[in-house]
Structure 1
Amino acid sequence: MIYYLLRSRLDGNYLVAHLQPSDSGYLLLFREDFEALSYVNAHAGEVAHKFAVESIPNSQLSPLMKRWGFHGVGIVQDPLVPRVEFLAQPS
C-alpha cells in the first residue's frame, strides 16, 4: 500500500497532529494524493502552496517514523470534515 504525506517546502518537516503538547505528534497519512491536496486546501488554503505531497510505501513507514520520532500515525479518513483515525506506534 502507498500512503501520501504533506511535507513543508520551507523546512522539510512533515505535517503532523499533536493530540497533547508533550507528544512528538502523529504523522498524517492520506490514501490518495488528491486527498492530501484537498485537506491542505480546505484547512490551510493560505499556506497550501508551502506544502508538497510525497508518497511512501508501507514498507518505509516504520523507518521514517523511527527516524523522526513520531508517536504514531493519523490516517485521514475524510479530508474535508476532517475525520482522522489515530494509531499509536507500539513501544
Structure 2
Amino acid sequence: MFSEAYYLIRSRADGSYLVAHPHAGKDANAAQSSPSFLLLFREHFDALSYLNTHASEVADRFSVESIPGTQIDPLLKRWSFTGIGVVQDPLIPRVEFLTKGST
C-alpha cells in the first residue's frame, strides 16, 4: 500500500479533502461530530468518475491530487481523520473503510 500512489479529491474553495462519514446518515450536524474517513482512489480517472457521477453540478469546484502512500499517515494525523476509505467502485460507490492504528 505504501509504494503506490493514490488520488484524493480536494475542494478548490477551502482546501478540504473529500471525506466520508459512514455512520452519520443524512444529518449534517451528526456528520461534523462523527468519524471521518479520507476517500482515496486508486486511479485518477476513478476520482474523476466519482465526481462526474455523484456531483456533476459542482465538479468544477474540486480538483484531483495524487499522494504517495508514504504520505497518507502524516495526512491522517494532520487533519485528524479516523482512517481511510478506499473507493473500490466509483460508480456505485463501493468503499472499503480502514481505521488507522494508534501508535
Same fold (TM over 0.5): yes
Q: Counterparts of 2:82 and 2:89 in 1: how far apart (Å)?
A: 21
Which amino acid is the alignment partner of residue 50 of structure 1? R
State the aligned residue count: 91
Q: 2:91 aligns to what?
A: 80
Tell me the percent identity: 64
- Cα shift readout 1:19-61 (whole Å, capped 9, x = no counterpart): 2333341000000001000001100111100000000000011
> Normalising to structure 2: TM-score of the pair?
0.85
Q: Is 2:58 the partner of 1:51? A: no
Which of residues 66, 70, 82 is equivalent to 2:81?
70
Unaligned runs of 5+ in 1: none
Which amino acid is the alignment partner of residue 49 of structure 1? D
Q: 2:71 aligns to what?
A: 60
Runs of 4+ in 1 over 2 A off after TM superposition: 20-24
Which of residues 3, 7, 16 is equivalent to 2:6?
3
Point out the structure with max Rg over C-alpha: 2
Q: Counterparts of 2:35 and 2:56 in 1: how far apart (Å)?
A: 25
Over the aligned positions, Cα root-mean-square deviation in angstroms equals 0.9
Unaligned runs of 5+ in 2: 24-29
Q: Counterparts of 1:42 and 1:27 in 2: how far apart (Å)?
A: 19
